[in-house]
Amino acid sequence: MADPKEPESGAVELGTSNATVPTGTMSTRRLRSEDYNDYSSTDVTPEGSPPDGMNGFAHPESYQRFGETNGTTWYQTLIHLLKGNIGTGLLGLPLAVKNAGILLGPLSLLVMGIVAVHCMGILVKCAHHFCNRFQKQFVDYGGAVMYGLEATPSACLRTHAIWGRRIVGLFLIITQLGFCCVYFVFLADNLKQVVSAANGTTNDCSSNRTVVMTPTMDSRLYMLSILPFVVLLSFIQNLKVLSIFSMLANVAMLVSLVVIYQYIVRDIPDPRNLPLAAAWKTYPLFFGTAIFAFEGIGVVLPLENKMKKPRQFPVILYVGMSIVTILYISLGVLGYLRFGADIQASITLNLPNCWLYQAVKLLFSIGIFFTYAVQFYVPAEIIIPPLVARVSERWGWLINLLLRVALVCVTCVLAILIPRLDLVISLVGSISSSALALIFPPLLEIATYYSEGMHPLVIVKDIAISLFGFVGFVVGTYEALLELVSPAATVVNATTVLVQ
């Protein structure tokens, strides 16, 4: 996940919010009037439909800009696309590669990257189709699904088309709150490890140094300790203020990633003992983690919508997602090669307990802490405004704060109930990310173009992708829940510190 969808600087939060609002225009108006001007790109071919094709995009010359001209440049869009797809899921990919195998893992990541970017292209193509058909400046994810259902031959689907928007909004809320649950577990695990090794932390970063760990409180208590600070952070409702925290988070995580890479490329042991393909029962856990990392489809339409020259977006999408896929595969493979069977749920937990790498853990934790506010903004803007509108203005501010406290507490409680980082990531990925990234877009393409005539191979391709996502959804969720109820004896606890 795909994780940070940041506000202000690239309008990513706006797009995600627009893509998730199922309850009317309240939160959308608030977003647009506060900080943004709305931009769109549409296809204006006379036929009213973008050309079909496996790449899923209209011809570049068919784009037309509506609105003002101070949109984002190709470089800014590329940076925001990278930010929207790189987050905590990246740190769990070495364990995901272990669950798939040193050969099957990277091959599967490559295939999932290709399929994910193709589904992003499908979503953009369908959105362009409906923008042109209904003469709209912008159609979000939920709106595209709703219009797609209205275009189907089935009278039942046309009658209940509004549920398409609501279902997409529900899954986007689940995804964002799921990210927040992951952040609680990540923060607790890393802080616990730093505190446990505090007395033995030195300047010696040699990999063969043994550190005596000091007993400390359970990771669940760390989550409760963090809770008040996260609640205070959630009270920030201004996008401009959140953009500052988002920038700090991006810098902290970028520095941390550079340090992590320079460590794992050194002293890689002999990889011949690593299995080429892992046991089939662990592959669903790989699927959940991988699709969690690739779930950046929510930022695609808003980024394209904000571009100064949207005809450049297809190239930017392919280049950006190629970089993301290479980053995912490289960190996943190198991390597994470096730590082997001892790899933990987050690669930061495998770093040595010297001051340099303890600082990296704290730095990344700070970045994740700030990112919580950015991710929380989206579901808060969807859920809270309609509820606040039901009470008098006198009590609106109090209800607003109480609802924010309640939502943060829900994410904390869920994290406490599932305190294993690898299982939280796999569950969120299997349940919600698979639906948004793999299941919905191909079905949307069929619903949109079936009445106009589609090549049978395109229909077969779309059905195959959706079935793949649905199987991953069912099996990944089942295996993650089974592992949660009765963990295998070979599983290393996510908060256990490995001696390097």
DSSP per-residue string spanning 439-497: IHHHHHHHHHHTTT---HHHHHHHHHHHHHHHHHHHHHHHHHHHHHHS--TTPPPTTPP
pLDDT top residue among 379 and 202:
379
Q: 93-103 b/e with 16+ CB inside 10 Å = b?
A: bbbbbbbbbbe
* Burial (Cβ within 10 Å: 0-12, 13-18, ≥19) of residue 179: buried
> What percent of the chain is modeled with pLDDT above 70?
80
Q: At what angle do helices 313-339 and 93-100 cross, to 10 degrees?
A: 70
Encoded amino acid at 231, one letter:
V
C-alpha to C-alpha distance for 125 and 447, rounded to whole angstroms: 13
* Poorest-pLDDT segment among 22-31, 75-84, 99-108, 244-253: 22-31
Q: 22 with 145: CB under 8 angstroms? A: no
Q: At what angle do helices 219-234 and 355-388 cross, to 10 degrees?
A: 50
Residue with structure tokens 């941390």? Answer: 256
Q: Which of 449, 444, 496, 482 is nearest to 466 (CA)?
A: 444
Q: What is the DSSP code (8-state) at residue 66? A: E
C-alpha to C-alpha distance for 246 and 9, rounded to whole angstroms: 9
Model-level pTM?
A: 0.76
pLDDT band at 104 (very low <50, low <70, confident <90, very high): very high
pLDDT top residue among 322 and 422:
322
Residue 45 pLDDT exceeds 50: no
Map residue 163 onto helix, strand or coil: helix
Task: Give the mean pLDDT of 13-36.
Answer: 35
* Poorest-pLDDT segment among 24-38, 213-227, 325-339: 24-38
Q: Which residues contact 473 (CB under 8 A, 6 or more apart)?
A: 430, 431, 434, 435, 439
Residue 280 pLDDT exceeds 70: yes
For residue range 478-496, list pLDDT tens digits in order.
Answer: 988 888 887 654 444 444 3
* Poorest-pLDDT segment among 180-189, 208-217, 220-229, 356-365: 208-217
Sign of CA pseudo-dihedral 340, 345, 347, 350: negative
Report the pLDDT value the prediction gives residue 38, as an integer from 0 to 100: 31
C-alpha to C-alpha distance for 497 and 500, rounded to whole angstroms: 9
Map residue 160 onto helix, strand or coil: coil
Mean pLDDT rounded to a whole number for the chain: 79
- Long-range CB pairs of 326-329 (<8 Å, 24+ gap) are 327/86, 327/90, 328/90, 328/93, 328/109, 328/113, 328/290, 328/293, 328/294, 329/106, 329/109, 329/110
Residue 52 pLDDT exceeds 50: no
For residue range 407-454, list pLDDT tens digits in order.
Answer: 999 999 999 988 888 888 888 889 888 999 999 999 999 999 988 888
Residue 266 pLDDT exceeds 70: yes
pLDDT band at 350 (very low <50, low <70, confident <90, very high): confident
Q: What share of the chain is helix, strand, coil (3-state, %, to 5)?
A: 70, 0, 25
Q: 58 with 43: CB under 8 angstroms? A: yes
- Long-range CB pairs of 193-198 (<8 Å, 24+ gap) are 193/349, 193/353, 193/361, 193/495, 193/497, 194/358, 194/361, 194/362, 196/497, 197/353, 197/358, 197/497
pLDDT top residue among 247 and 43:
247
Strand-strand pairing, 63-66 and 40-43: antiparallel
Q: What is the DSSP code (8-state) at residue 433? A: I
C-alpha to C-alpha distance for 394 and 315, rounded to whole angstroms: 50
pLDDT top residue among 48 and 338:
338
Task: Give the mean pLDDT of 316-326.
Answer: 90
Residue 36 pLDDT exceeds 50: no
pLDDT band at 70 (very low <50, low <70, confident <90, very high): low
Report the pLDDT value the prediction gives residue 378, as an integer from 0 to 100: 79
Length of the chain: 500
For residue range 138-151, list pLDDT tens digits in order.
Answer: 888 999 999 999 99
Residue 309 pLDDT exceeds 70: yes
C-alpha to C-alpha distance for 250 and 84, rounded to whole angstroms: 11
pLDDT band at 108 (very low <50, low <70, confident <90, very high): very high
Q: What is the DSSP code (8-state) at residue 63? A: E
Residue 68 pLDDT exceeds 80: no
Q: What is the DSSP code (8-state) at residue 310? A: G
Q: 298 with 141: CB under 8 angstroms? A: yes
> What percent of the chain is modeled with pLDDT above 90?
30
Task: Give the mean pLDDT of 53-82.
Answer: 59
* Poorest-pLDDT segment among 12-26, 142-156, 216-230, 480-494: 12-26
Report the pLDDT value the prediction gives residue 161, as an integer from 0 to 100: 92
